Structure 1
């Protein structure tokens, strides 16, 4: 197979019309350039240039391969240019994974800034229901970064984005709506808008309830924390919801838990040596967990 250097020598000779001038352009000696042309001709099995009294020109075979040789060199330039841009953290591809309840509130603001500055012309997003699923997505090579709660098992690099509090959302006319805070004991025997069993919040909240000698009576289950809050406001039961899932209008009845309950939100970094990936992770950490000012004021 001909080398790119041999093709580069051929195109330089055809453009310059002379081996001497082509060697000067490529900063090569004339014998070295002639050696490259000879190797190309041996590979093809026919001459690609013919020497004239003054200069050289392409043979019929040389004219046949000229367009493809130029295309091959252009493709090689794109490979190098794209690689250098990616090394500078520009362009390329972002393969991200995010907890489905955090995509809009946590990931979207930083991603919007990146896309506006055209740092990442292509984004591939995978959403998952649990922290362990996110870890598996990165470990399997399907994503370079993942954002969500801290997984139980993760051996790679991790960066803390911040913490989010879990609060209770109640219907306005609920019997517990006048309480300043709610304990897991208060939730015993109360209808709860819970999460699907494969959702990361489901097992974690059940374990927390058990740790406080209580259980959560699921009247229905959903995969979306924002939906859980809306269903609670609609009167279906109490929902335990991360503050990041409460977007837009804040429900009229939101209570802190006693004792308080929160979880870390982290960035799992699968390819820390990649400049673009490292920069995006740093931007996520710098922005931190979004704060709903209205909700924070309501909770005091």
Structure 2
């Protein structure tokens, strides 16, 4: 049995207006079209709902039994529409966002601070990933509304470039190699043991690739999963680390210097379909955070 809200709306309007013609006029449809849909409703229910009389249609016993439920269904449909409109109007909405661990530490706090100033009623749920490949797979499975992270490989949906995050070399405060320097060549650190990342971290690939371009393979002092841990370990003297600059905490006690040649990573927003107004506003907040970094 296929009964639509539109058919129930026609049924209620016929009785409220007292005629098929006035109901059609109210609903801005043709009378034959309205009659056709009403007859389809009666066929679907297997009962006659209305008896046509010379003065006005009257409900049959079945019609009287169905009418309260028809009105309740229309009211429920109106509540569904109202809820959807409230979400569009950013009331009681929740945005699902997939991202990388280092982005949730380095990019999101400042971006979310500015976001909350204009979208205080919106909840954001983060799904954090170690590798961009696992995040892309999760997005294919529908985990989140939008993903913020490195440009995905072979993505057929919506992709927007948000900018680039740059990486910095971190050492202990008493490490003489970075003393008073703004930049440093990675080859100068070829004989050092590094604070490296576990192979399932996307940051591991970035360090290996940067060192390979400098002509060496980094020796490993210790491995960690997250940039925030690498920062603390490097500051404690466990060896140099290569981390996103945006992960540096205020008043960091270690030394920092930008590698030469520079190391950076493109950050994108992507989703299966173009984001709605709410999603687009969130993406813009992230982009503004990246552009604000000197």
Specify the TM-score bucket, using the shorter chain as the normaliser.
0.7 to 0.9
Q: Secondary structure at the match of 2:177?
A: coil
- Provide the residue aligned with 1:67 in structure 2: 68
Greater mean deviation of Cα atoms: 4-13 or 120-129: 120-129
Distance 2:84 2:223 in 1: 46
Structure 1, 193-202 or 28-37: larger mean CA deviation: 28-37
Deviation at 1:51, TM superposition (A): 4.8
Question: Structure 1-normalised TM-score?
Answer: 0.78
Shift of 1:243: 0.3
CA contact (8 A) 1:169 1:251 kept: no
- Choose 145-154 or 119-128, whichever is displaced more: 119-128
1:270 to 260, 272, 285: 272
Equivalent pair of 1:19/1:55 in contact (CA under 8 Å):
no
Q: Which residue of 2 aligns with 1:134?
A: 135
Q: Which runs of 5+ in 1 are unaligned?
A: none
Q: How far apart are the structure 2 equivalents of 1:262 and 1:5?
A: 55
User: Quick one: structure 1 residues 33 and 168, their matched pair in 2 at CA, closer, same or farther if it must change by over 3 Å?
Assistant: closer
Instruction: Compute the displacement of 1:111 (Å).
Output: 4.6
Contact 1:105–1:290, Cα closer than 8 Å, also in 2? no
User: Matches of 2:9 and 2:217 in 1, distance apart?
Assistant: 73
Question: CA deviation digits over 1:254-274, x for unaligned, max 9?
Answer: 122233322222223431375
Deviations 1:149-207, CA, capped at 9 Å, x for gaps: 33455455533322222112222223434262433233234232211111111022112
| 8 Å CA contact retained: 2:114, 2:285 | no
How large is the RMSD of aligned CA atoms in angstroms? 3.5
Alignment map for 1:43-62 (pairs within 5 Å): 43-51=44-52, 54-62=55-63
Listed as ranges, the matches of 1:41-190 within 5 Å are 41-51=42-52, 54-77=55-78, 94-111=95-112, 117-118=118-119, 121=122, 123-151=124-152, 153-154=154-155, 156-178=157-179, 180=181, 181-190=183-192
Inter-CA distance 164–39: structure 2 relative to 1 (3 Å threshold): closer
Deviation at 1:112, TM superposition (A): 5.3
Give the TM-score normalised by structure 2.
Answer: 0.79
> What secondary structure sits across from 1:5 in the alignment?
helix
**Number of equivalences:** 291
Establish whether residue 16 from structure 1 lines up as the match of residue 17 from structure 2. yes
Cα distance in 2 between the residues matched to 1:28 and 1:266: 47
- The CA deviation at 1:208 is 1.8
Q: How far did 1:101 drift?
A: 0.7
* Contact kept in structure 2, 1:164 and 1:289, CA below 8 Å: no
Distance 1:132 1:5 in 2: 45
Q: Secondary structure at the match of 1:101?
A: helix
